[in-house]
Structure 1
Amino acid sequence: MQSKRSNPKKADRFTSVRGRAAIAASLAAVLITASAGIAAKDITVAVGAAFSTLDPYDCPDVLTRICAKSIYEGLFTFDKNLKPVPELAESFEASADASEYTIKLKTGVKFHDGTDFNAEAVKVNFDRFLNPENRLNRYSAYSMIEKVEVLDPATVRFKLKKPMPSFIGRLAATTPQMICPSYIEKYGTGKQLATRACGTGPYVLERFNPNDGIFVKKNPNYRVPGLPKLDSIHWVPVIENATRAAMLRTGEAQYVTPMPLEQIAQLKDDKSLEIQSMPSLMSRYLSINNRVKPFNDKRVREAINYAINKEALAKVAYAGYAVPMSGIIPPKLPTSLKMGPWPYDPKKARELLKEAGYPNGFETTLWSAYTNTTASKAVQFIQQQLRQVGIKVTTRLLEPGVRTSEVYAVQNPDDAKSRLYYVGWADSTMDPDLTIRPVLDSREAPPKFMNTSYYANPKLDDVLDRAQVETDAEKRQALYNEAQRIAWSDAPWAFLLYEENTAGASVKLKNFTLRPDGGFDFYNAYWEE
């Protein structure tokens, strides 16, 4: 049985144009590197946060999932312009109502354990993922999938519970990666995939420790001839900014991200290094627990927004490599609606606190989802700003394990201990649903997903639900505009900054570049002597 196609010419064009582009890019990369004096190289990449779990379906942080893309591949991925393109898929067809997607797969692809990648492997991965008893962290973002059917060894069909025009973008994200079925059978019912990995990617996992790093080596049997060009990559967490900068200077690391912002100016003069920067999709905000006093009073949440000087925060903590948030969705995304930023007005903040019954302020806690230097500076700055309007906070920087257990694994909202929580959110699917819903939908609070503010507005939930199934582009945009206005007005967060992506690299490391989604592209990376 064949699914109906809403636009067969469009589907064919996706296959042919993207396919030709991919082939051309690969040939160009081969020609460039063949003449460039490529050398075998083991490189070290220093990143600014510790890792969590290698299981992409259970991994709460985008950094670990991006680094794990050296091991794993999905059916689709995003190109440098954040457009979904085939990876293990060959092509797709969508039904007229966007509720069924039939996907043709590449053939001849092998997993790292030597077994075949095929339609049954896709089903095994998604059956595990979609089983709510497995309690996988990313389940909520894909719960619209009703089932996955095997039509033949090279064809799968995704049946959705409701129409979703943006579904291919959802498949191109860093979550739905293909794990070896043998590993799922052996380790997939518990948390053992947190430290093990087996995929189809260009590199094979050698060893992993969340605090020591992810060590991967070249996959000699990778499906694309001539790739990868690097012998191995060591993804190592280095929290301290000065240490990452020192590693780059001495050559201990060949790529560093994020770049220690306070040192960019002096490192720009080093001819052996390249500094990379670009606007990102990352929003930094202060999640406010809307369920508890005094934060269940909108005036208190507004006061917190007025109390923080975002321009100064960008300079103090981010050395100018950030700009104040002007809306819920970052301006780099086409669905963004500009509404702000919230102005800095400490007098207004004190007036609102007095109206809410707190003329002398109050005491509370401020937690950070990160322990790196930049986050520490941001939290200290926010602490000082809030003190000026009478809000006294004690601060705490959470290690990944503590962050998971005390924030994201909380089973009952009444048990949540977080009050003010400095965190960030970025979604690379170009889908406004995944930019808003995981962090603001009332049904997406922990342990289900990332609404750590426990914000609950039935009107917003309804608008998001209607927008998700709307196939008319203009009507869909109008609904998302309404959702953005609702959330901005309710002030469930203190809206802080859009962060710029930064990195430093050895000039000998080629084709290792930043992406606007907060990740980096290393697929065609090579070392030039």
Structure 2
Amino acid sequence: MLTGAGLRVAVLFACAAVLTGAAEARTVTWARSGDALTLDPHALNEGVTHALAHQIYEPLIIRDSQGKPLPALAESWELTADPTVWEFKLRSGVKFHDGRPFTADDVIFSFKRALQPASDMKQLLSSVDELIKVDDHTLRIKTKGPNPLLPANLTDLFIMSKGWAEEHGATKVQDVENGEQSFAALNANGTGPFVLVSREPGQKTVLRRNDTYWGRGQVPLEISELIYLPIQSDEKRIEALLSGEVDFVQDVPVQDIKRLQEDDGVRVVVGPENRSIFLGLNVGDAELATSDVKGKNPFADKRVRHAINMAVNRQAIQREVMHGQSIPTGIIVPPGVNGYSKELDVIPPNDIETAKALMAEAGYPDGFSVTLNCPNDRYVNDEAICKAVVEQLAQIGIKAQLVALPKAAHFQLIQNLKSDFYLLGWGVPTFDSHYILSHLYHTKTDRQGTWNGTRYSNPDVDNMIDSLTSEADLVRRNETMVNIWRILQEETIYIPIHIQTMTYAMKPDLEIAVDISNQPKLKLMKVRKSN
């Protein structure tokens, strides 16, 4: 099945192979527990989806494996004399996979597209007032107020070809929440290091090296073909690696790390991810749809939330579920993200008796029942974490009924406000707390709170969050951020569990570092030559 830009891409690809000479071929089969949920680069703000998109599409600014921002489709950027205007110098000579030239028109089109109601990326551009084309390779972005952190918001905002989207009826963002399909969901035409050859959702995606990639010679780009396989079963994923069916596993099960490290036929690399794993509680509805308590919402009572926070035993989860491969946390901000504070990262004592007393004081001495929604193909040992939480909450009388689903269905429950109690993970590609606050805590609106499944709404907190996008004084901005976190830590809307660590495993001739955002750029993978 030929997809992407169609036959024109295939012809260009064949010509490029002749012009560049016979580059050494190395096919890499890349496996992880779940598939990208769409190829539409603006439809869903989800890490696995972005990880695949980064191979095909590119943003103006990209981050290296340690999180450092680097030029991509923008060669440089600076704040002008007007503190509300950023100027970006775009890379010249870049072409999309179908041969169309990349210009400022494509950036303006892509950003306007990303601001559409169906886009899950619109919050990242919420401060934008105007997009101004100076010339084909110069763009100015005017914001509603001074926003010194705008560039940090652009690292996952992928650029599409305006002409390609118009030609194929792909100018509108796929409406994932309502189950819509679209041309851009199954086809792609980026500027990135790999070209889409075929896409079978949930089964296999095949990419080939872009031999006319603008960055050739600046990055290894040593993989000639990339085959992406979602393999949900931990056991089957590792079996596929050991049998040679798979070359690179992005999410190694924690229980298999030790034996793989002892296998000479496997290279294992371990590193931190700037992603927290936590529980979300419906604190806003008058009644929980899945609870036996009627006429009121037990999660709306702060005493119940504090009791849950005490009952969740993070150290036991680290030891028994994660085999030591996690960092217990008392706040959902990962270390290294602006706004993180050791002062606020306080893990409550696992005090069951005090938790029971709080439950009784709140009017629930015998507890209550509720459904706990959990993904089973997204985070490291996600379903096992939820099973542990179910057992731990039973100690204080909360009878949690576990419903584990593939991430596509699970995420729809959260975004459509159909879950009372759920597990979620959140990475921070901007390395700034605003990304967490605006998505997870802000009152849910068309552009804010898009992942706030808790129904939490606090106008004062909203105003402080909104001020973070226009406060030019970084000292004052950071003070506001600390004040927000102090309020939210006391509110206990989410129950932090841990910071996730990641383990990659690969054939010994391959080499790539763990990406701190867990979005490895396979153009950086090196292939060791055999002796």
TM-score computed with the length of structure 2 as normaliser: 0.87
1:73 lines up with 2:58 in the alignment: yes
By how many angstroms is 1:404 displaced?
4.1
* 2: CA distance, partners of 1:278 / 1:332: 14
% identical equivalent positions: 28
1:301 lines up with 2:305 in the alignment: yes
Tell me, yes or no, if the aligned pair for 1:113 and 1:180 is still in contact at 8 Å: no
Alignment of 1:271-420 (within 5 A): 271-292=264-285, 293-338=297-342, 339=344, 340-371=346-377, 374-408=381-415, 410=416, 416-420=417-421
* 2: CA distance, partners of 1:267 / 1:297: 46
By how many angstroms is 1:445 displaced?
8.6
Residue 519 of structure 1: aligned partner: 519
Structure 1 residue ranges (4+ consecutive) displaced by more than 6 angstroms after TM superposition: none
* 1: CA distance, partners of 2:231 / 2:445: 31
Find the partner of 1:197 among 167, 188, 195: 188
Give the letter aligned to residue 117 of structure 1: F
Tell me, yes or no, if the aligned pair for 2:29 and 2:246 is still in contact at 8 Å: yes
By how many angstroms is 1:444 displaced?
5.4
Tell me, yes or no, if the aligned pair for 1:261 and 1:321 is still in contact at 8 Å: yes
Alignment of 1:144-163 (within 5 A): 144-163=127-146
By how many angstroms is 1:499 displaced?
0.9
* 1: CA distance, partners of 2:459 / 2:173: 35
**2:381 partner SS:** helix
* 2: CA distance, partners of 1:314 / 1:492: 22
* 2: CA distance, partners of 1:309 / 1:369: 20
Residue 93 of structure 1: aligned partner: 78
By how many angstroms is 1:201 displaced?
0.5
Tell me, yes or no, if the aligned pair for 1:438 and 1:444 is still in contact at 8 Å: no
By how many angstroms is 1:386 displaced?
0.8
Tell me, yes or no, if the aligned pair for 1:282 and 1:517 is still in contact at 8 Å: yes
* 2: CA distance, partners of 1:97 / 1:357: 57
Residue 3 of structure 2: aligned partner: none
Alignment of 1:23-102 (within 5 A): 39-96=24-81, 98-102=83-87
* 2: CA distance, partners of 1:400 / 1:154: 39
By how many angstroms is 1:521 displaced?
3.4
* 2: CA distance, partners of 1:76 / 1:299: 44
Tell me, yes or no, if the aligned pair for 1:308 and 1:385 is still in contact at 8 Å: yes
Find the partner of 1:252 among 245, 267, 270: 245
Residue 294 of structure 2: aligned partner: none
Tell me, yes or no, if the aligned pair for 2:317 and 2:388 is still in contact at 8 Å: yes
Alignment of 1:463-474 (within 5 A): 463-474=464-475
Tell me, yes or no, if the aligned pair for 2:310 and 2:349 is still in contact at 8 Å: yes
**2:425 partner SS:** strand
1:484 lines up with 2:485 in the alignment: yes
By how many angstroms is 1:239 displaced?
1.4
Q: Structure 1 residues 129, 474: CA separation in 2 closer, same or farther (over 3 Å shift)?
A: same
1:261 lines up with 2:254 in the alignment: yes
Tell me, yes or no, if the aligned pair for 2:374 and 2:386 is still in contact at 8 Å: yes
**What do the CA deviations read for 1:262-319 (whole angstroms, capped 9, x no partner)?**
0111111112212111122110000001113111111111111111110001122211
Give the paired residue count: 481
Q: Structure 1 residues 171, 446: CA separation in 2 closer, same or farther (over 3 Å shift)?
A: closer
By how many angstroms is 1:527 displaced?
2.3
Q: Structure 1 residues 457, 80: CA separation in 2 closer, same or farther (over 3 Å shift)?
A: same
By how many angstroms is 1:208 displaced?
1.7
**1:476 partner SS:** helix
* 2: CA distance, partners of 1:59 / 1:89: 23
Residue 10 of structure 2: aligned partner: none
* 2: CA distance, partners of 1:319 / 1:343: 21
**What do the CA deviations read for 1:327-370 (whole angstroms, capped 9, x no partner)?**
23111324311221122111111111101110100000000134
Tell me, yes or no, if the aligned pair for 1:513 and 1:521 is still in contact at 8 Å: no
By how many angstroms is 1:448 displaced?
5.7
Q: Structure 1 residues 325, 487: CA separation in 2 closer, same or farther (over 3 Å shift)?
A: same
By how many angstroms is 1:430 displaced?
1.5
1:505 lines up with 2:502 in the alignment: no
* 1: CA distance, partners of 2:263 / 2:27: 22
**2:229 partner SS:** strand
**1:275 partner SS:** strand
By how many angstroms is 1:447 displaced?
9.1
Q: Structure 1 residues 406, 432: CA separation in 2 closer, same or farther (over 3 Å shift)?
A: closer
Tell me, yes or no, if the aligned pair for 1:137 and 1:448 is still in contact at 8 Å: no
Give the letter aligned to residue 452 of structure 2: N
Give the letter aligned to residue 318 of structure 2: A
Give the letter aligned to residue 183 of structure 1: W
Which deviates more, 65-74 or 185-194? 185-194
Query: Mind listing any 5+ residue stretches in structure 2 that lack a counterpart?
Result: 1-22, 175-181, 286-296
Alignment of 1:170-181 (within 5 A): 170-172=153-155, 174=156, 176-181=157-162
Tell me, yes or no, if the aligned pair for 2:86 and 2:142 is still in contact at 8 Å: yes
Query: Mind listing any 5+ residue stretches in structure 1 that lack a counterpart?
Result: 1-37, 411-415
Give the letter aligned to residue 487 of structure 2: I
* 2: CA distance, partners of 1:190 / 1:451: 21
Let me know the Cα RMSD of the aligned residues.
1.9
Give the letter aligned to residue 514 of structure 1: V
**2:98 partner SS:** coil
**2:242 partner SS:** helix
* 2: CA distance, partners of 1:431 / 1:487: 16
